[in-house]
Amino acid sequence: MFNEMGTKPNVRSPYNVVSEWVEQTGIDLLQQRNAEAEALFRKIGITFAVYGEDADPERLIPFDMIPRVFSAEEWRVIDRGVKQRARALNAFLYDIYHRGEIIRAGIVPEHLVYQNSAYLPSMVGINPPGKVYSHIVGIDIVRTGEEGFSVLEDNCRTPSGVSYMLENREIMMRMFPGLFRREEVEPVDSYPGDLKDTLREVAPEKCEDDPCIVLLTPGPLNSAYYEHSFLADLMGIELVEPGDLFVDQGIVWMRTTLGPQRVDVIYRRIDDDYLDPLSFRPDSMLGVPGIFDVYRSGGVTICSAPGAGIADDKAIYCFVPDMIQFYLGERPILDNVPTWRCALKDDLAYVLDHLHELVVKEVHGSGGYGMLIGPKSTKAEQQEYAKRIIADPEDFIAQPTLDLSTAPTVAADGLGARHVDFRPFCLVGKNVRLSPGGLTRVALKEGSLVVNSSQGGGVKDTWVLAEK
Amino acid sequence: MMLSRAAENIFWLARNIERAEANARLLEMGRRMTMLPGSSGRDEWRSVLRASGTMRLVSQDESVTEEVAVNTLLLDEQNHSSIRSSLVLARNNAKAVRTAMTQQMWETLNTGWRDFDGMAPAKASENLESIIESVMIRTATFRGAAEGSMLRNDRYDFLRIGWFLERIDNTLRLLDVKYYILLPESDVVGGGRDYHQWTSLLSAVSAMRAFYHAYESDYAPWRIADFLILNDDFPRSIRYCMGQIAAHLNALGNRYEQKKACQDTADGLLSRLSDLETGEIFQSGLHEFLTEMMSRNAQLSREIAADYNFSG
Amino acid sequence: MRMTVSHITTYTYDPVVERTAIRLRLFPSVCDGQDVESWEVLVNGETVTPLLRSGFGDDEALFMRYDPISELNIVARGVVETRDTSGVVSGLPDVTPVGVFLRQTPLTRPSQAILDLGEGAQKDDALDELHELSRLVRQEVDYVSGSTDADTTAAQALNLGRGVCQDHAHVFCAAARSRGHPARYVAGYLLPEAEEGALHQTHAWAEAYVLGIGWIGFDPSNNICPTERYIRLGCGLDSRDATPIRGAISGGGEENLVASVVIEQAQ
């Protein structure tokens, strides 16, 4: 197991300052300050509701105050690798909604794309501004050793969590100003400005003035509502709900106190299904009727584009390294985690034989639900799961149980090593931008490998150390 | 320019906060009146509930005890204008327009909004004084946060308009309590008990001192009514509040370069209040006047909603 | 054949609807076998023009009203000239990859019976197989008007053994796809053979893709390939996808629908 901080006396150099600070502060004080931090979060109103659970809708996502640290050298690799991946994913989306070269070349199997419900036939032939489909790409990265960064998952639709990147830093700087004087940490606060620039860059061609940009949220009951309002506020744009928008004369408008106001760019944090009842789920009373038609006719830009979700399908994930080669002519900087596709006969046989040591996931699932963690499952659970795989092999992939790296974490009984992953947020407009930081998620339960906030995960501040 | 939904929520945020405060003031007034001699036969709490428009929540034949009144005005979730509901609604309004809130306003609202969850009426009644005080402090803190941190733009206009509309409503209701109490024993108008009832009205609007400054110690009913309705310096008087509403509606009109119907209505109400004398009010009946003002105030609220594209 | 079409759909609402949004795919395709001489679409007397052309090659228009209305009157009319192409559909400005039409939808998801039906049509030649499938669909699903509704799935219709043109097209698409033939659902009009009292109405059929030939129309309801009496409006993965009129209304009460189609051979 790779411990990010190392253990005394062999503390890894990026953690020198943090390790010293933890030692000087002492675990008792850290525990006490963890509680203070929580009170602060609650007061500011940063909460995270878990979808589909009856729990308190204003549940707080636990914050651990020991930062996760990347050296400047490590970050250079992640920075290049993430940007490379984000460009390739967008190139893939443009391709499959146009000529489908990668399919014609026999690299990605046709049926995985065209028969996938995440692929929207109505997007074929549409040219989004800048050929960008996924404007905010969240890439989940895990580490298994000193050198081993690999990508576990791509999120091309509406990845959430970036508010924690900003707020965790804010809290850390409020509580421990001295710490930031001892170590040079790259700031992350340019993210909202970068996001706004990105959205501005993809305004419709028809838009001649400074574009009117809005953030579209399903409303206060959505689990990420706090993030929506937070980002809208930092960007100085309106936070709108579907009911605030309407379509008329091929244009999207918002209702204001001054009458209708034209909208040019929509950063939507609402699923495709609920975007437009005229094109997607007809039974949904949510959404803005006609908005998809306006988008396709070039009257408004929707970020991310409807249909962008096909790129983060877990069956497509296996082909991302090939995409990088195919579209960019480059070698992938970040590797995928080895993945078996149960759709392939040999892979299926292997997976069924090794269920006890693999993690099996549903191709279309997300949020850590519906997966089998082999080493933590009973024989009966494995047998039950095997039946599901055999019934629909196409719907499953499997990966080795990764020995995720651990980072020091404040626990009830002292300092503990807990597993972490990492999600940076790459912005794609005319330029590709990446803030030096991201969301570090930590599995707070000892030994647990599930970092999802919906299943007992917490968050940490993520430090990228400045180049010396 | 702002989203109509945002304007609507800010408007109602202010109204809900003000309503919480008004209920606290009603409770305070009821508490004081029941401490006056001979109150046991008069059913003051019933008058308080009637004035708050919540009588329908209480059964007709049951006597309205302090516990019932406290439950209705403070704790009842079914009563959408109880203090507890008002604070929850205010927070929901704020949540729906998070970006239009300053951090300071939000933090004020986000603290203590669940204080009354699970509180028993008896316990609340026991600690009524400190609860009333804490509600007043909370609403005052919010007002201070808004005044101290908001930009003076259209958001601020809508907030203040909501505020003063609700305040007019509540001052009218407070005056009406007095009317209901007076009704069965009009023979004692001007008597000693009557005097105390009128002064409890003043103390419910925290205006004992202010009144004294304006009118010295002449606590005659018409003077008190004059103070609460027509005084142009007292920040809870009908006329003062209407003046503020008219000013903010006109400011909005100028900002947007659009003249709206609600501006004329508010200007008209203000000039009527300016020309009015207390004697006329009493002559044509205080209760009739109060009822008419309540309905005009509600009409103004509806006009504002229509002029600025509110949904509800 | 030159044909004049008058297609009038009237929805009445009681009480009124507060907001109305409709998407219209009521514009005849322009392709090798079909020219549009004149065509207009009016909603409550207002001319509606297409906002865009979809990846399927169909024109799409929107109609929006944000004030209360009690009636929606949709008129599509004009003159269309067609030629018999033996069912071959070419020259359509469609850009959607053929492979997309192998996708099953909730309305076409095949049951075992549909898979069996497909197997039963097996022939060495793809074209022969599709003709046989069209025949089998008609044989297994009786044409009984009113026996199914808009939400009936292909599996349900086959199980029931009854249905209308929509169900025939769904069953055909479901079985064809299960056999690896890309297939799509087509909406349009049909001029009935000159019989007294023949019912004019909107019609639905299917198209399947055959390597080396391209898209070919199949009308299982009449067990033929579309002739010059067919006017093609648009296509999709299923009826929901290809529907000529799709609406999202809010605040309305009961909806009442009256539709009439009159198609005549023009001189």
| Chains in contact with chain B (at least 3 beta-carbon pairs closer than 8 A) | A
Residue type, C52: L
Q: How far apart are CA B151 and CA B159, in angstroms?
A: 11
Q: What is the mean pLDDT of residues A442-448?
A: 88
Cα A94 to chain centroid, rounded: 21
CB-CB under 8 Å, C99 with A111: yes
CB of A221 within 8 Å of a chain B CB? The answer is no
On average, the pLDDT of chain A sits at 90
In the numeric block, which tokens belong to residue C99? 């492979």
Based on the fold, state whether residues A136 and A232 are members of the same structural domain: yes
Domain membership of residue A412 (yes or no) is: yes
Domain membership of residue A217 (yes or no) is: yes
Q: Closest to C64 (Cβ–Cβ): which among A122, A123, A248? A: A248
**Which positions ≥6 away from A349 have C-beta within 8 Å?**
none
For residue A115, the chain C residues in CB contact (below 8 A) are 99-100, 102-104
For residue A226, the chain B residues in CB contact (below 8 A) are 98
Q: Where are the alpha helices (DSSP H) in A184-224?
A: 191-201
Q: Do chains A and C touch (3 or more CB pairs under 8 A)?
A: yes
In the numeric block, which tokens belong to residue C26? 């009521």
CB of B311 within 8 Å of a chain A CB? The answer is yes
Q: From edge to edge, which strands make up the β-sheet containing C230-236?
A: C88-89, C214-218, C201-210, C183-190, C230-236
CB-CB under 8 Å, A282 with C246: yes
CB of A124 within 8 Å of a chain C CB? The answer is yes
**Which positions ≥6 away from C196 have C-beta within 8 Å?**
none
CB of A286 within 8 Å of a chain C CB? The answer is no
In the numeric block, which tokens belong to residue B123? 């316990």
Q: What is the mean pLDDT of residues A123-142?
A: 96
**Number of independent structural domains in chain A:** 2
Q: Where are the alpha helices (DSSP H) in A122-244?
A: 162-175, 177-182, 191-201, 225-235
Q: Where are the alpha helices (DSSP H) in A97-215?
A: 101-104, 110-114, 162-175, 177-182, 191-201
In the numeric block, which tokens belong to residue A436? 């030096």
Instruction: Map chain C to HEC letters.
Output: CEEEEEEEEEEEEEEEECEEEEEECCCCCCECCEEEEEEEEEECCEECCCCEECCCCCEEEEEEECCCEEEEEEEEEEEEEECCCCCEECCCCCCCCHHHHHCCCCCCCCCHHHHHHHHHCCCCCHHHHHHHHHHHHHHHCEECCCCCCCCCCHHHHHHHCEECHHHHHHHHHHHHHHCCCCEEEEEEEECCCCCCCCCCEEEEEEEEEECCCEEEEEECCCCECCCCCEEEEEEECCHHHHCCEEEEEECCCEEEEEEEEEEEECC
Domain end point (choices A346, A375, A401): A401
Give the DSSP letter of residue A325.
Answer: I
For residue B95, the chain A residues in CB contact (below 8 A) are 220, 225
**Which positions ≥6 away from C28 have C-beta within 8 Å?**
C34, C36, C39, C78, C80, C188, C231, C232, C233
**CA–CA min distance A388, chain C (Å):** 19
Q: Give B93's pLDDT tier (boundaries 50, 70, 90).
A: very high
Based on the fold, state whether residues A285 and A247 are members of the same structural domain: yes
Strand C88-89 to strand C214-218: parallel, antiparallel, or no bridges (unpaired)? antiparallel
- Each residue's pLDDT tens digit in chain C (267 positions)? 999 999 999 999 988 888 899 999 999 999 999 999 999 999 999 999 999 998 899 999 999 998 899 999 999 999 999 999 999 999 998 889 999 999 999 999 999 999 999 999 999 999 999 999 999 999 999 999 889 999 999 999 999 999 999 999 999 999 999 999 999 999 999 998 866 566 677 899 999 999 999 999 999 999 999 999 999 999 999 999 999 999 888 876 788 889 999 998 887
For residue A232, the chain B residues in CB contact (below 8 A) are 99
Domain membership of residue A425 (yes or no) is: yes
Half-sphere exposure of A430 (CA within 13 A, CB side): 8
Give the DSSP letter of residue A468.
Answer: -
Q: How far apart are CA A320 and CA A323, in angstroms?
A: 5
Q: What is the mean pLDDT of residues A182-186?
A: 91
Domain membership of residue A166 (yes or no) is: yes
Q: How far apart are CA C156 and CA C140, in angstroms?
A: 12
Give percent of chain B with pLDDT exceeding 70.
90
Task: Give yes or no for a contact between C184 and C173, defined as CB atoms under 8 angstroms apart.
Answer: yes
In the numeric block, which tokens belong to residue C234? 């648009």
Q: A10-19, A109-118, B31-40, C50-59: which range is least confident on average?
A: B31-40
Task: Give yes or no for a contact between A54 and A43, defined as CB atoms under 8 angstroms apart.
Answer: no
Domains identified in chain C and CATH numbers: 2-82+245-265 (2.60.40.2250), 88-242 (3.10.620.30)
| Residue range A348-377, pLDDT digits in tens | 999 999 999 999 998 876 555 678 888 888
Based on the fold, state whether residues A20 and A86 are members of the same structural domain: yes
Residue A55: is its pLDDT beyond 50?
no
Extended beta strands in A35-116, E state: 63-70
**Which positions ≥6 away from A334 have C-beta within 8 Å?**
A77, A78, A81, A82, A84, A85, A139, A141, A149, A150, A151
Nearest alpha-carbon partner for A440 in A178, A138, A179:
A138
Selected residue with higher pLDDT from B120 and C226: C226
Range of A409-413, B27-31, B259-263, C200-204 with top mean pLDDT? B259-263
Tracing tokens 């950063």 back to the chain, one arrives at A267
| Chains in contact with chain A (at least 3 beta-carbon pairs closer than 8 A) | B, C
For residue A230, the chain B residues in CB contact (below 8 A) are 98
Give the DSSP letter of residue A107.
Answer: S
Q: Closest to A255 (Cβ–Cβ): which among B98, B110, B309? A: B309
Based on the fold, state whether residues A344 and A245 are members of the same structural domain: no
On average, the pLDDT of chain B sits at 85
Distance, first Cα to last Cα, chain B: 19
CB-CB under 8 Å, B256 with A243: no
For residue A103, the chain C residues in CB contact (below 8 A) are 97, 99
Based on the fold, state whether residues A385 and A239 are members of the same structural domain: no
Q: How far apart are CA A117 and CA A334, in angstroms?
A: 28
Per-residue burial over A365-404, b if 16 or more Cβ lie within 10 Å, else e, is eeebeebbbbeebeeeebeebeeebeeebebbbbbeebeb
Q: A79-83, A341-345, B40-44: which range is least confident on average?
A: B40-44
CB of C18 within 8 Å of a chain A CB? The answer is no
State residue B181's pLDDT score. Answer: 59
Q: How far apart are CA B179 and CA B221, in angstroms?
A: 11
Task: Give yes or no for a contact between A85 and A93, defined as CB atoms under 8 angstroms apart.
Answer: no
Residue type, C189: Y
Per-residue burial over B261-287, b if 16 or more Cβ lie within 10 Å, else e, is ebbebbbebbeebeebebeebeeeebe
Residue type, A428: V
Based on the fold, state whether residues A89 and A133 are members of the same structural domain: yes
Domain membership of residue A62 (yes or no) is: yes
Selected residue with higher pLDDT from C86 and A286: C86
Q: What is the mean pLDDT of residues A219-231?
A: 86
Q: How far apart are CA A319 and CA A317, in angstroms?
A: 5
Indicate which of A95, A112, A124, A310 best probes the interface with C, i.e. most C CBs within 10 Å of its own CB: A124
Domain end point (choices A372, A401, A430): A401
Q: What is the mean pLDDT of residues A419-445?
A: 95
Based on the fold, state whether residues A182 and A222 are members of the same structural domain: yes
State residue B185's pLDDT score. Answer: 45
Could you list the residue range(s) of the whole structural domain that residue A277 is in?
A: 6-337+402-464
Q: How far apart are CA B259 and CA B250, in angstroms?
A: 8
Residue A58: is its pLDDT beyond 90?
no
What is the ipTM for the molecules in this complex? 0.92
Tracing tokens 């033929």 back to the chain, one arrives at C224
CB-CB under 8 Å, A110 with C248: no
CB-CB under 8 Å, C102 with A111: yes
DSSP-based three-state secondary structure for B139: helix
Based on the fold, state whether residues A137 and A44 are members of the same structural domain: yes
Residue A160: is its pLDDT beyond 70?
yes
Domain membership of residue A419 (yes or no) is: yes
CB-CB under 8 Å, B154 with A257: yes
Q: How far apart are CA B92 and CA B80, in angstroms?
A: 13
Q: Which residues pair with C10 in a beta bridge?
A: C73, C258
Q: What is the mean pLDDT of residues A273-283?
A: 85
**Which positions ≥6 away from A395 have C-beta within 8 Å?**
A342, A362, A363, A364
Q: Give A243's pLDDT tier (boundaries 50, 70, 90).
A: very high
Domain end point (choices A367, A401, A435): A401
Residue A285: is its pLDDT beyond 60?
yes
Domain membership of residue A1 (yes or no) is: no
Based on the fold, state whether residues A10 and A62 are members of the same structural domain: yes
The whole-model pTM stands at: 0.88
| A129 cis-preceded (ω within 30 degrees of 0) | no
Q: Which long-range contacts (CB under 8 A, 24 or more apart) does A176-185 make?
A: A176/A21, A176/A65, A179/A17, A179/A21, A182/A17, A182/A21, A183/A17, A183/A18, A183/A463, A183/A465, A184/A465, A184/A466, A185/A463, A185/A464, A185/A465, A185/A466
Q: What is the mean pLDDT of residues B223-252?
A: 93
In the numeric block, which tokens belong to residue C6? 């008058």
Selected residue with higher pLDDT from C181 and A224: C181
**Which positions ≥6 away from A10 have C-beta within 8 Å?**
none
Q: What is the mean pLDDT of residues A148-156?
A: 92
Indicate which of C59, C64, C67 best probes the interface with A, i.e. most A CBs within 10 Å of its own CB: C64
Task: Give yes or no for a contact between A360 and A398, defined as CB atoms under 8 angstroms apart.
Answer: yes
Give the DSSP letter of residue A3.
Answer: B
Based on the fold, state whether residues A254 and A354 are members of the same structural domain: no
Q: Do chains B and A touch (3 or more CB pairs under 8 A)?
A: yes
CB-CB under 8 Å, A293 with C60: yes
CB-CB under 8 Å, A121 with C96: yes
CATH number of domain containing A373: 3.30.1490.270
Q: How far apart are CA B289 and CA C195, in angstroms?
A: 78
Q: How far apart are CA A417 and CA A4, in angstroms?
A: 9
Residue A50: is its pLDDT beyond 50?
no
Task: Give yes or no for a contact between A407 and A381, defined as CB atoms under 8 angstroms apart.
Answer: no
Q: What is the mean pLDDT of residues A253-261?
A: 94
For residue C56, the chain A residues in CB contact (below 8 A) are 121
Based on the fold, state whether residues A431 and A376 are members of the same structural domain: no
Selected residue with higher pLDDT from A51 and B154: B154
Q: How far apart are CA A280 and CA A292, in angstroms?
A: 9
Based on the fold, state whether residues A226 and A239 are members of the same structural domain: yes
Q: Which residues pair with A148 in a beta bridge?
A: none
